Homo-oligomer: A and B are copies of this chain.
Amino acid sequence: MPEYKAPLRDIKFVTEEVLDFHGHYAKLPGAEEATPDMVAAILEEGAKFAERVLSPLNRVGDQQGCQFKDGVVTTPEGFKEAYQQYVEGGWPSLSHPEEVGGQGLPDSLGMMVTEMIATSNWSWGMYPGLSHGAMNTIELHGTDEQKQTYLTKLVSGEWTGTMCLTEPHCGTDLGMLKTKAEPQDDGSYAITGTKIFISAGEHDMADNIVHIVLARLPDAPAGTKGISLFIVPKHNVDDAGEVADRNQVSCGSIEHKMGIHGNATCVMNFDGAKGFLIGEPNRGLNCMFTFMNAARLGTALQGLAHAEWALQNSVAYAKDRLQMRALSGPKAPEKAADPIIVHPDVRRMLLTQKAFAEGGRALIHYCSMLVDTMKRGTADEKAEADELMSLLTPIAKAFLTETGFEAANHGLQVFGGHGFIAEWGMEQNVRDCRISMLYEGTTGIQALDLLGRKVLMTQGATLRRFTKIIHKFCKEHKGDKRVKSYITALDKLNGEWGDVTMKIGMKAMRNKDEVGAASVDYLMFSGYVVLAYFWARMAVTAQNKLDEGTDEVGFYTAKLQTATFYYDRLLPRTRAHAEAMLSGADNLLAMEEDNFLFLNA
């Protein structure tokens, strides 16, 4: 049966040995309590919760799904109790400010715990995950009263939150949204409209749900510049701050979907529900954007989660399942056949998962260091972190979910026909993963954000901020023969990243559609370069450890071997992406709409 073990050794390698989190915490204002001992203790407790409580509920969630009856959603058996344990453990408050009852620990420490929760049971993890989105919004844009009323309850975990953006006719194109907000005499607003795809919109795990809702004021300009943001609680809150009567918001139905069955995806009906404006009128989208990067990083994590889960279970199966002999002669002659891990192609699938999972882990935790700095650094540090994060977010979100889906499929494939059967859990992993390329902005939208908004609109300045970091790293290690093959390839590719950007920029000046035509291949190219940078860094760290002398020779050697695999077998994909993205928009735009299909001839 599938199971999850927290990869504490690898989290430690990435965060401590490669990214030097302890050095980072030592300098980060207000992170004094995040001592090595404290971090280790938190990770150990988080690992226990993920392994013992959440992991066993992962399959239950898929099988039972959420049930909907008369507006009430019942979550799968055990979900509610697990949430109770989560609240009692103090987990919701970990990285929120002390003023609202939080523990004030760095976001990046929260992300390490979130990685374990996410991987052990993604569907369950979405309930607290959505709360974090709501908390960030109120934290940044709410009034003191709103913080006191709502934020403290979210931070304690007594209540959960949602983000209500999508409507039936608009997902990507929020400028089209129709939900209305009419001002009332008491200063509140009456919210009316229908929202769809609202994760955790209704459930039985907490006493109240705080919906963050995008809606239009009566005099609002059309399009994205006329959208405001509101708090709409499921239950109104009385003067004592406790749950009072029901607000006019209700769940109309839940979706039947491919995966993440344990999470309720709701249609939410607002029928003149009482809401409270957050931030300034008509600036709702701007308020959203301030924490969009953090939310997208949370979805990027889903790619890593499913890759790690696939890896753990398919490695175990590949060592256990006996089938055929190695072409080069029996490796386990005493057995009826060799374990399939001897076959090179099975190893190719395992190493692909490993390269994406462990490379993705480095990228995710690097980004979450940037989040720390964005919140707590000096003005200069904040500006730099913000710029890097704005570049890396669409890459992390789209590249890690695309490669996470590939990894999940390799995991299934290692199981042969058994991979298709529910009880092995590999097909659930693929189904659960599939949503990650869609929500929080599809891969296509991330790619436009990257190439259009982040790279070309800044005349490449944002990109250069990161390519310079790579360049500096390559320069530092240029003379190091031990890692020469990585550094040479990375340096070349880093230069090419700039070159192809320039070429596409030139084309785009003649025809803006060149941006959309190149965007996804550009994003995937960028993702492979970014992961190559982290694999080179990991290789340097591992090589140093080996040279210093270590009793973990196998662990560090495997890092070097995985880096080599990544450079030899995955990085060549940049050739295909480069050629495709430079082929121009004509091969996409030439066809008349009506000529895509001829079915009635």
Contacts and interface: CB of A to CB of B under 8 A. Distances in A.
A128 interface: no
A351 B561 contact: no
Interface in A322-376: 322-324, 326-328, 336-337, 339, 341, 343-348, 350-351, 354
Contacts of A6: 599
Interface string A496-526: 0000000000000001110111011000000
Classify the secondary structure of A's interface with B.
Answer: helix
A328 B511 contact: yes
Interface in A451-478: 452
A534 to B, nearest CB: 18
B591 A558 contact: yes
Q: Which of A169, A336, A592, A597 has the most CB of B within 10 A?
A: A597
Q: What class of interface size applies to chain A in its complex with B?
A: 35 or more
A23 interface: no
Nearest to A412: B434
Contact of A166 (B312, B417, B588): B417
Contacts of A520: 345, 348
Interface string A574-600: 111011100111011111111111111
Interface stretch (A77-85, A89-97, A225-233, A563-571): A563-571
A257 B421 contact: yes
B576 A420 contact: no
Nearest to A323: B173
A394 interface: no
A126 interface: no
Interface of A: 5-10, 166, 169-173, 176, 197, 255-259, 311-312, 315, 319, 322-324, 326-328, 336-337, 339, 341, 343-348, 350-351, 354, 409, 412-413, 416-417, 419-423, 427, 430-431, 434-435, 437-439, 442-444, 447-448, 452, 511-513, 515-517, 519-520, 552, 554-555, 557-558, 561-562, 564-565, 568-570, 572-576, 578-580, 583-585, 587-601
21 contacts: A6-B599, A7-B597, A9-B601, A166-B417, A311-B596, A326-B513, A327-B512, A327-B513, A328-B512, A344-B513, A344-B588, A347-B589, A351-B587, A417-B439, A555-B601, A557-B591, A557-B595, A561-B595, A564-B590, A568-B587, A569-B587
